Amino acid sequence: MKLQIQNNFTTELPADPNQTNVPRQVHQSAFSFVVPKKPTNPSLIHASIDVANAIGLSQDDILSTDFLNTFSGSIIYPGTKPYAMPYAGHQFGNWAGQLGDGRAINLTEVVHENKSYTLQLKGAGPTPYSRTADGFAVLRSSIREHLCAEAMHYLGVPTTRSLSLMLSGDQVLRDVLYNGNPAYEKGAIVCRVAPSFIRFGSFELFASREDHDNLKLLTDFTIKHHFPQIQKEGVEKYLAFFQEVTQTTLNMIVHWQRVGFVHGVMNTDNMSIHGITIDYGPYGWLEDYNSGWTPNTTDNQHKRYRFGNQPEIALWNLYQLANALYPLINDAKPLEAILEAYSTDYEKEYLNMMRDKLGFQIKKNQDVVLIQSLTQLLEKVETDMTIFFRNLSNVSKADAATTAFNTIKDAFYNEKDLDETILKDWHDWFEKYSIRINEETLSDSERKNQMNTVNPKYVLRNYMAQLSIDDADKGNYSLLNELFEILKNPYDEQPNFQKWFAKRPDWARDKVGCSMLSCSS
């Protein structure tokens, strides 16, 4: 197995001079060297061939002992020096101080076909940033990360990738429901892949300590290596950087809203500087379209990170990043201008995204109202988001409102919920929708094809992930493998997998892991 190694981060940024691996505050350093804990009996459960190819590895490499040893943390790949990064963050709106890679260890950067990637093990043991926790990860959360990161990629949502999922062979103690019932679970290790794992919180850490030298070093490094298109200098450079992060973050959120993804823990330490989805913890997929929904039980009271609040929270997080970058800019006005533009830009992008979902190529002013009334209707009774939008593409220009309505009827969880008023509202909506699609130039089948590129047929429904976890826990990985394959082509019909194009079964409604998830992982 041959990787093309590069060590820009550890060569150009300051290292923690202290190499003892105990929890502590680390100052004036961008990283601490740390060695993964050797797992007792590692075994490969699954690897993503596309990610392997992207970093220059083949199917044979995946099956090699080098691969097993390297990506389980058993050996250190020649020429590399693993490290963990400190960062800070706002958690649930509150300043949390120093956090950092508590159970993530960056192995190295690799270069392939002129692209560079950082490879990071998650769950490979403690680091100076582990605080009171153990540095390990359990199988259930690792399956969720591996499957979802890749599913998101194939949906076209910017995301970190997942190269591999391994069992460590060790047991890890977790209290899943935080109710005083800890139990041993199988330990697992995922290898995540991204341009870098620099987060909003990486900048917040230096800024909070008024360590402006390192704040500048980190920002200059990030721009030089990851935003090479920015060719400006001084204040202009930093503003262009902030502008780009704002734009890519906004773009990511529009995608989340398009596919019905709820991140669950949008703390600033979980916001990638690349505008890619990072840290798959208690995330969930909207089944019932409900803007107030969050899967994260820790957030049950305020629902800060609910589906409908994600755009607002991204902006809140961008304010924190702006504050952190302020010492490099020393002028609030241009930062505020970028932040103020976010809301109008978001509205515009959201509108266009929804037009795509509805099959509108022509932009009409009345679309705003049509979309608003649709989302209001979707909230009225339990309606499956994925099935609704996928089936909507079967509506024809010639259909009467009733026929059109029947096309999407499968999306309702309980038809009995549809009282007369709601039925009438749907009827009215479909009458307007019919007029609207008749203004389009595309034929029915052309519109359907276009809609099917933005409305997935298959998403990683919460219960699907949980079923594969239940099986995997017993050593059966066939469902995990099957889900991985289906989710590679989420927009394709894949009639063989039709059974996964179905509403959440009733047993999953209130089951832990399906509709309720804690941060325990």
Residue stretches of the annotated binding site for ATP: 100, 102-103, 122, 134-135, 192, 199, 279
**For ligand AMP, which residue has the nearest CB?**
102
x/- site string to Mg ion, residues 446 to 475, per CB under 5 A? ------------------------------
Minimum CB separation of residue 88 from Mg ion in Å reads 12
Site stretch for Mg ion (CB under 5 A), options 23-31, 101-109, 181-189, 266-274: 266-274
Residue 455 engages ligand AMP in binding (rule: CB under 6 A)? no
For the record, the structure tokens of 158 come out as 């910017």
Which of 141, 468 has the CB closer to Mg ion? 141
CB atoms within 10 A of CB 172: 19
Which 280-309 residues touch ligand AMP, going by CB under 6 A? Answer: 281
- To 10 degrees, what angle do helices 310-329 and 234-259 make? 170
Q: Is 519 in the site for ligand AMP (CB under 6 A)?
A: yes
Smallest separation (angstroms) from Mg ion to the CB of 474: 29
Contact status, residue 491 vs residue 501, Cβ threshold 8 Å: no
Residues 6+ apart with CB under 8 A from 207: 215, 323, 324, 325, 326, 327
Q: What tokens appear for 114 in the block? A: 């002129």
Q: CA nearest 426: which of 390, 392, 387?
A: 392
Q: Which is nearer to Mg ion, 119 or 483 (CB)?
A: 119
The span from the CA of 487 to the CA of 153, in Å, is 9
Least CB distance to ligand AMP at residue 178 (A)? 13
Task: Show the site string, 298-337: x = touches Mg ion by CB under 5 A, - = not.
Answer: ----------------------------------------
Contact 263, 277 (CB under 8 A): yes
339 by DSSP, 3-state: which? helix
User: Tokens standing for 343?
Assistant: 């809301």
Minimum distance, C-beta of residue 276 to ligand AMP, in the bound complex (Å): 15
Q: Which residues are annotated as a binding site for Mg(2+)?
A: 270, 279
Site size toward Mg ion, by CB under 5 A: 2
Q: Is 32 a binder of ligand AMP (CB under 6 A)?
A: no
Contact set for ligand AMP, span 101-120 (CB under 6 A): 101-103
Question: One symbol per residue from 240 to 279: x for binding ligand AMP (CB under 6 A), - otherwise; what is it?
Answer: -------------------------x---xx--------x
User: Smallest distance from the beta carbon of 486 to ligand AMP, in angstroms?
Assistant: 27
Applying CB under 6 A, among 100, 275, 359, 490 the residue interacting with ligand AMP is: 100
Least distance (Å) between residue 24 CB and Mg ion: 19
Query: What is the C-alpha to C-alpha distance for residues 23 and 39, in angstroms, rounded to an integer?
Result: 21
Using a 10 angstrom Cβ sphere, with 0-12 exposed, 13-18 middle and 19 or more buried, the burial of residue 103 is buried
One of 145, 185, 204, 279 touching Mg ion (CB under 5 A): 279
Q: Nearest 5°: CA angle at 467, between 417 and 280?
A: 90
412 and 418 Cβ atoms separated by less than 8 Å = yes
Instruction: List, by residue number, the catalytic residues.
Output: 269
Q: What is the end-to-end Cα distance of the chain in Å, rounded?
A: 31
Q: How far apart are CA 182 and CA 247, in angstroms?
A: 42
SS3 sequence, 93-124? CEEEEECCCCCEEEEEEEEECCEEEEEEEECE
The entry of Mg ion, ligand AMP, none near residue 214 (CB within 5 to 8 angstroms by kind) is none
Largest separation between any pair of C-alpha atoms in the chain: 72
Binding status of residue 270 toward Mg ion by CB under 5 A:
yes
Q: Which stretch binds ligand AMP (CB under 6 A): 99-107, 234-242, 332-340, 451-459?
A: 99-107
* Binding-site annotation, residues: 100, 102-103, 122, 134-135, 192, 199, 270, 279
With CA atoms as reference, report the closest residue to 321 among 448, 398, 206. Answer: 206
Q: Which residues bind ligand AMP (CB under 6 A)?
A: 99-103, 129-130, 133-136, 265, 269-270, 279, 281, 519
Q: Which residues bind Mg ion (CB under 5 A)?
A: 270, 279
